[in-house]
Structure 1
Amino acid sequence: MTMKRRFLLSSLPLIGTTLLGWHVGSAWAADEAPDALIQRLTKEAIDLIQSDKAVQSGDVARIMQLLDQKIMPNLNFQRMTASAVGPAWRQATPEQRARLQAEFKTLLVRTYSGAMSQAKNLTFSIKPMRYAPDDKEVIVRTLIHGRGDPVQLDYRLEKTPGEGAGWKIFNLNVLGVWLVDTYRSQFSQEINAKGIDGLIATLSERNKSNAAGDTKASKG
């Protein structure tokens, strides 16, 4: 993995995940065009990087708090998790699905939160897009400008009906790699070897190991 790819991947929680819903009311989200939504949220995310010292330092507790309060209502995280797990999701029990979502969310935050201090002095641009009023899924393509060449960061969104209607992000593409697809490849190996419970146990252990590393780093 190149340094540029590693830097942008490490920035996903703020440049990508943060964009999933800062301060978006359901009525506004329902009426807002998908590219306008990404345009506004990207600016808010970058502003947050510059102002929130806890986020800059990779404070997992702070990032998790913001994720639960501001992001999860505007993200189809169940779809993200189901896609990452693959066909085995259909056989999982409700309890297993809840555990998978919780462990996957923690994994994403802990994997990338340590590099928040690097995600500074960024700008962005939105590529022109066309979509029909009856489209149910779209891709909004952006370029993140920072160190070195601009890096492509795309968002796959779906239009949801009913309560909480509006555009919701369910996948991210960084430098040509879809985030959910990357994890699906990893998870399928665990599921084939150990089943759903084995995947849950592996994710739990990885998260505990990452948490222990955070504790040692803070004491050091």
Structure 2
Amino acid sequence: MKRLFAFVSFCLLSCAAFASEAPDALVKRVSDEVLEIVRADKDIRNGDMQKIVALVDAKVLPHFNFQRMTSLAVGRDWRSATPAQKSRLAEEFKMLLVRTYSNALTGYSNQRIVFKPFRMKDGESEVLVRSEVVQPGAQPVQIDYWLELADGKWKVYDVVVAGISLVTNYREQFAREVRDGGIDGLIASLATKNKSLEAAAAAKTARK
């Protein structure tokens, strides 16, 4: 499931996205672009984490609303966090997703994306773009992208894979950590996981 979340996340690579471009057209265009990049870059497919993380930083992050993603993942406990805690939570959650899902690009194996009919009413600021990932030798997987219009740009705030939301997938875990150690405990836990993932990636690179 993590590989699927990761795969669709990386399908949103592109230049700046303008609101004048329809959300479904945006997702399709950038999906095509990233697949072309991955197909052409053997280093990425072979697990060059430095290249992958640089790619994520440059191309993926501008198209996600991590503040909203984090608030959805934290749930009702988000309201009790201070502005400084919210900022730190969003940063650590962003790093967790980047470090966790960067590994998935090494598992690319000629997947392709088929987009479903898209409907949007005039004036809507939140939309759902539905698609299906077709994988060789496996059943297609339903992918839904929730986007919102923020500061004149469409940004992703959730990805739903086979009916499972990326952000709510973390909610129970985060709620448990807040119960055990408060908001600061959750921040510390995320920071520890990020350091562990970073160390694991460095060790993997060193072995090659």
TM-score (norm 2): 0.90
Query: Counterpart in 1 of 2:15?
Result: 23
CA RMSD in angstroms comes to 1.9
Query: Counterpart in 2 of 1:96?
Result: 85
Shift of residue 150, structure 1, vs aligned partner: 1.2
1:125 and 1:143 in contact (8 A); partners too: yes
1:57 and 1:114 in contact (8 A); partners too: no
State the AA in 1 paired with 2:182. G
Structure 1 pair 52/101, CA: closer, same or farther in 2 (3 Å)?
Answer: farther
Query: Counterpart in 2 of 1:216?
Result: 203
2:5 and 2:166 in contact (8 A); partners too: no
Q: Distance in 1 between matches of 2:101 and 2:113?
A: 20
Query: Counterpart in 1 of 2:139?
Result: 149
Comparing 102-111 with 171-180, greater Cα deviation is found at 102-111
Query: Counterpart in 2 of 1:3?
Result: none
Name which of 67, 77, 81 aligns with 2:66: 77
Secondary structure of 1:31's match? coil
1:172-201 deviations in Å (ceiling 9; x for gaps): 011110000001121111011111100011
TM-score (norm 1): 0.85
Q: Distance in 2 between matches of 1:71 and 1:57?
A: 20
Secondary structure of 2:128's match? strand
Query: Counterpart in 1 of 2:152?
Result: 165
State the AA in 2 paired with 1:168. K
Q: Distance in 2 between matches of 1:52 and 1:78?
A: 31
Name which of 80, 84, 105 aligns with 2:94: 105
Shift of residue 212, structure 1, vs aligned partner: 2.1
Uncovered stretches (5+) of structure 2, i.e. residues with no partner = none
Shift of residue 11, structure 1, vs aligned partner: 4.2
Uncovered stretches (5+) of structure 1, i.e. residues with no partner = 1-5
1:103 and 1:207 in contact (8 A); partners too: yes
Name which of 76, 82, 104 aligns with 1:115: 104
Query: Counterpart in 2 of 1:12?
Result: 5
Q: Distance in 2 between matches of 1:43 and 1:207?
A: 30
1:73-123 deviations in Å (ceiling 9; x for gaps): 322111001111112222222222222122111211222222322112121
1:58 and 1:117 in contact (8 A); partners too: yes
1:124-168 deviations in Å (ceiling 9; x for gaps): 1100021111122111110111121211111011123xxx40321
Q: Distance in 2 between matches of 1:39 and 1:88?
A: 35
2:159 and 2:166 in contact (8 A); partners too: yes
Q: Distance in 1 between matches of 2:118 and 2:5?
A: 22
Aligned residues: 206
2:11 and 2:31 in contact (8 A); partners too: yes
For residues 39-50 of structure 1, what are the structure 2 equivalents within 5 Å? 39-50=28-39
